A and B are shown apart, each in its own frame.
Chain A
Amino acid sequence: MRGRSLALVIAIGAAAAPLWALAQAPPQLKSVNFDLPVGDRMFPGDAAADAINNNCLACHSAGMVLTQPRLSRAEWQAEVDKMRNTYKAPVAAEDVPAIVDYLAKLGGT
């Protein structure tokens, strides 16, 4: 089996475009087991941030939201709608206005 696959390597190597180079040593793959950071940051703003903190941190950390540029209320509404309708975020309809209010005050300089 080993001999046959070596022959195949050579045969294909000869036919390959110059773009390709053949890998030399067979790689040894080792199992991995890591913990990925979860993100410990909350949305600031006390009570005004309750709705976003309670609804939005299950699927993603706060960081990327807080690094978005200044967006209009309509743009933020569209983002929240996309999270609910397309990405199925379980956000109660009554919490949406408070989340959009919070987001529309964020961003930029």
Chain B
Amino acid sequence: MAMGRMPSRRSFLGQAGAVGLGLVAAPAWAETIKLPLNGGPQEREITTGFPQKGAMILQRTRPPLLETPMEVFDRGIFTPNDRFYVRWHWAVIPGEVDVATFKLAVRGHVERPLSLSLAELLAMPRVELAAVNQCSGNSRGLFQPRVPGGQWDHGAMGNAKWTGVRLKEVLDRAGVKAGAVAVRFNGLDEPVVDGAPDFMKSLAVDHARDGEVMIAFAMNGEQLPLMNGFPLRLVVPGWYSTYWVKMLSDIEVLGAPDQNYWMATAYRIPDTPHASVKPGETGFKTVPINRMVPRSFITNLAAGAVVHAAAPTPVRGIAFGGDAGVAKVDLSTDGGKTWQPARLGADAGKYSFRQWETTVTLAGRGSRALMARCTNSAGVAQPDTANWNPGGFMRNVVETTPITVS
């Protein structure tokens, strides 16, 4: 893929300094990675310039969009905090949070509005669960035809052990009034421009009180990295990350459906199977994006890998069931004509990544298409054709890893 039109980062460092935007110096060299985005641009910088983060794929500096490189997912089912992907909508993100003065408000259609300190939350009964956090637009860069938006490969996802308090417990303390229909969540981030829609998301009141939705203050046993939502983030197991509001500071119980932009206009999907429509189609009914769907990935072989003919080749990866557990993962080495079951690794809970592995012996030299397919415990399998919608949401087609047998 030619990159002729794309200038190198290096050529801009001088210019940027000249207009005074170079507030945080970038290194003069930059390691890059090529993402398999058909039609390009494919090249991205690998950055280590963000606080509490290791090497990440730079999709956007401000507001930050940082993608997890695929090799991280080969090392285990829990994504380390310093490699966990980052996605913000607005650039006004407080860099400083004081744990002594931070307050979480609970208000609206309640008997007793609350202003909870972190100490008060930490004194409440604690729960922990493993859950995948995945951006609604994960893998958007693979849509054909391409659509605007963050051009992610598969790394806008991660799995962590979340620790916190049940949202239900907090709502019960405030006393949800009869007639409540939804609960809306807001964080400390703000739009740059006055009048722009503050980022807020809401859940139906029954969902908010289902005992699974959590206000998390720890991730993999540590406090949340700032860019993953310190000090509190909502955890909505089985649902896309758009609902997992970061730097959660305000919970408002609503007596009427939420008409805010981020529910009524943005993050909507076609109300069709696989949220799929024909490119260019208009006039379809939409609903807010909601439950995740099963996915699986080969993590130990990248596209273009070369393996030896007639030698046992381990193939492994990760899978998740979306809103249900992983029932099975099957592998195909012939582009989907035949399938064989993979062995599943330890079960860390229905919302977690689950590792899988198998060993194949490939006869004959040439190109092969490896494919992994997850079926969840509700019997839902990944489809063999890709969905399409204008938002680039909910991709979960069986992915193909082309390799060469030599």
* Chain A contact residues, CB within 8 Å of chain B: 1-2, 5, 8-9, 12, 16-17, 19-23, 26-42, 44, 53, 57-61, 63-64, 66-71, 75, 79, 86-90, 106-109
Residues of B within 8 A of A60 (CB): 60, 62-63, 91
Q: Give, as a whole number of angstroms, the nearest-CB distance from A45 to chain B.
A: 9
- State the main secondary structure of chain A at its contact with B: loop
The answer for the CA separation of A58 and B191 in the assembled complex, in Å, is 11
Contact of B52 among A34, A35, A64, A90 (CB under 8 A): A34
The answer for the CA separation of A79 and B148 in the assembled complex, in Å, is 8
Contact A20 B95 (CB under 8 A): no
Contact of B13 among A33, A38, A40 (CB under 8 A): A40
Contact B61 A39 (CB under 8 A): yes
Q: Given A35-B51, A36-B95, A67-B44, check contact A5 B59 (CB 8 Å).
A: no
Residues of B within 8 A of A2 (CB): 123
Contact B123 A88 (CB under 8 A): no
**24 residue pairs A–B, Cβ–Cβ below 8 Å:** A1-B123, A5-B124, A12-B125, A19-B350, A21-B129, A31-B98, A31-B100, A36-B50, A36-B51, A39-B60, A39-B61, A40-B12, A40-B23, A41-B61, A58-B192, A61-B61, A66-B41, A68-B148, A69-B37, A71-B146, A86-B196, A86-B265, A88-B195, A89-B193
Residues of A within 8 A of B91 (CB): 59-60
Contact B191 A88 (CB under 8 A): yes
Q: Give, as a whole number of angstroms, the nearest-CB distance from B147 to chain A.
A: 8
The answer for the CA separation of A90 and B193 in the assembled complex, in Å, is 8
Residues of B within 8 A of A35 (CB): 24, 51, 95
Give a binary string over B301-333; 1 marks a CB under 8 Å from any A CB, 0 the rest: 000000000000000000000000000000000
Nearest 9 A-B pairs (CB), nearest first? A39-B61, A69-B146, A40-B16, A64-B60, A34-B51, A40-B22, A61-B61, A33-B96, A88-B196
Residues of A within 8 A of B22 (CB): 40
Residue of B with least CB distance to A10: B125
Residues of B within 8 A of A5 (CB): 123-125
Q: Give, as a whole number of angstroms, the nearest-CB distance from A75 to chain B.
A: 6
Give 7 new A-B contacts, CB below 8 A, not counting A67-B41, A67-B44. A19-B212, A27-B222, A36-B227, A40-B25, A42-B21, A53-B19, A90-B193
Contact B7 A87 (CB under 8 A): no
Contact B97 A19 (CB under 8 A): no
Interface contacts (Cβ under 8 Å), in number, total: 195
Residues of A within 8 A of B39 (CB): 69-70, 108-109
Q: Give, as a whole number of angstroms, the nearest-CB distance from A89 to chain B.
A: 6
Residue of B with least CB distance to A33: B96
The answer for the CA separation of A35 and B98 in the assembled complex, in Å, is 15
- State the main secondary structure of chain B at its contact with A: loop
- A-facing residues in B83-139 (Cβ within 8 Å): 91, 93, 95-100, 118, 122-129
The answer for the CA separation of A91 and B40 in the assembled complex, in Å, is 28
Residues of A within 8 A of B49 (CB): 37
Residue B65 CB within 8 A of the other chain:
yes
Contact A29 B122 (CB under 8 A): yes
Q: Given A59-B193, A63-B60, A108-B39, check contact A9 B12 (CB 8 Å).
A: no
Contact B127 A23 (CB under 8 A): yes
Q: Counting chain B CB atoms within 10 Å of each CB, which of A12, A31, A41, A68 scores highest?
A: A41
The answer for the CA separation of A102 and B25 in the assembled complex, in Å, is 27
Residues of A within 8 A of B299 (CB): none
Residue of A with least CB distance to B164: A23
Contact of B24 among A28, A37, A66 (CB under 8 A): A37
Residue B36 CB within 8 A of the other chain:
no
Q: Given A12-B125, A31-B99, check contact A75 B192 (CB 8 Å).
A: no
The answer for the CA separation of A58 and B193 in the assembled complex, in Å, is 9
Residues of B within 8 A of A109 (CB): 1-5, 39-41
Contact B217 A27 (CB under 8 A): yes
Residues of A within 8 A of B129 (CB): 19-21
Residue B406 CB within 8 A of the other chain:
no
Residues of A within 8 A of B95 (CB): 32-36
Contact A32 B97 (CB under 8 A): yes
Q: Give, as a whole number of angstroms, the nearest-CB distance from A10 to chain B.
A: 9
Contact A38 B62 (CB under 8 A): yes
Residues of A within 8 A of B3 (CB): 109
Contact of A69 among B99, B128, B151, B192 (CB under 8 A): B151
Residue B281 CB within 8 A of the other chain:
no
Contact of A22 among B64, B65, B128, B221 (CB under 8 A): B128
